[in-house]
C-alpha cells in the first residue's frame, strides 16, 4: 500500500483470493503511475539504491520483497506505465537460498493479466501485486471457521489502513 501511495494511486484495492471458501492468495491493485521495465527491475532487485523523496513512505527498497516472501511463497508483479509496454516479474521464496532469481514474464502475458483484473477502476496505468500460496492464512477445513477468520482479518486490515 505504501508503494501504491508513493506511485500516486488514487484507487487501491486489496482482494483476498479464495478457493473452496479458503483464502489462498492476495491481490493489491492500484491505478498509480505504474512501472516500465527499468522501474520494475529496480523494484524487484536486491541491493539496488535509488533516491527517495522526503514524502516517500519507503526508504530501503526491501519492503515489497521482504513483506511478500515473509507471507507467501510466490510474488508476482504486473505493471503498466503510460507509453511503455506492460511488464511482469515473478519471485519465488525458494530462490532465496540460491541468490534471489527474479523471472521476467512476457509482455503479452502481462497485458492479459492486467486486462483480467476487475478492479472497479481504470488500469490504463497501475500495478498489481499478487501473492500466491500465502502461508499465514488459516488452513482449517471448517468453512465456518474460515469465514469467521477471513471476516476478522479483513476488519483488522481496514482498521490498520484507516479504511471504512
**DSSP category for residue 96:** G
Q: Are 26 and 17 in contact (CB under 8 A)?
A: yes
Classify residue 20 by burial, with Cβ atoms within 10 Å: 0-12, 13-18, 19+: exposed
C-alpha Rg value of the chain to the nearest Å: 16
- Reference 10, options 41, 31, 29, 39; nearest CA is 31
Residue 19 cell numbers, joined: 478457493
* pLDDT tens digit sequence for 91-144: 988 876 676 678 999 999 999 999 999 999 999 999 999 999 898 888 888 999
Residue 52: pLDDT above 60? no
Dihedral sign from CA coordinates of 73, 121, 146, 63: positive
The percentage of the chain sitting over the pLDDT mark of 70, rounded to a whole number, equals 85
Q: H or E element: which one contains 116?
A: helix 107-116
Residue 120 region, left (φ>0) first, then alpha (ψ -120 to 50), else beta? left
Residue 27: pLDDT above 70? yes
* pLDDT tens digit sequence for 65-85: 777 777 888 999 999 999 999
pLDDT for residue 22: 84
Amino acid at each position: 500500500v505504501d508503494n501504491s501511495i508513493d506511485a500516486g494511486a488514487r484507487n487501491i484495492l486489496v482482494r483476498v483470493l479464495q478457493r473452496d471458501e479458503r483464502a489462498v492468495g492476495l491481490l493489491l491493485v492500484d491505478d498509480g503511475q505504474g512501472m516500465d521495465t527499468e522501474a520494475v527491475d529496480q523494484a524487484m532487485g536486491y541491493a539496488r539504491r535509488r533516491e527517495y523523496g522526503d514524502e516517500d513512505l519507503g526508504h530501503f527498497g526491501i519492503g515489497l520483497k521482504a513483506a511478500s516472501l515473509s507471507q507467501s511463497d510466490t510474488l508476482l508483479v504486473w505493471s503498466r506505465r503510460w507509453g511503455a509496454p506492460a511488464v511482469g516479474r515473478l519471485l519465488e521464496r525458494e530462490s532465496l537460498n540460491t541468490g534471489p532469481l527474479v523471472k521476467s514474464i512476457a509482455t503479452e502475458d502481462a497485458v492479459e493479466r492486467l486486462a483480467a483484473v476487475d478492479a472497479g477502476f481504470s488500469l490504463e496505468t497501475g500495478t498489481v501485486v499478487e501473492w500466491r500460496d500465502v502461508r499465514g492464512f488459516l488452513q482449517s477445513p471448517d468453512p465456518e471457521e474460515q469465514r469467521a477468520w477471513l471476516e476478522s482479518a479483513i476488519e483488522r486490515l481496514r482498521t490498520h489502513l484507516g479504511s471504512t
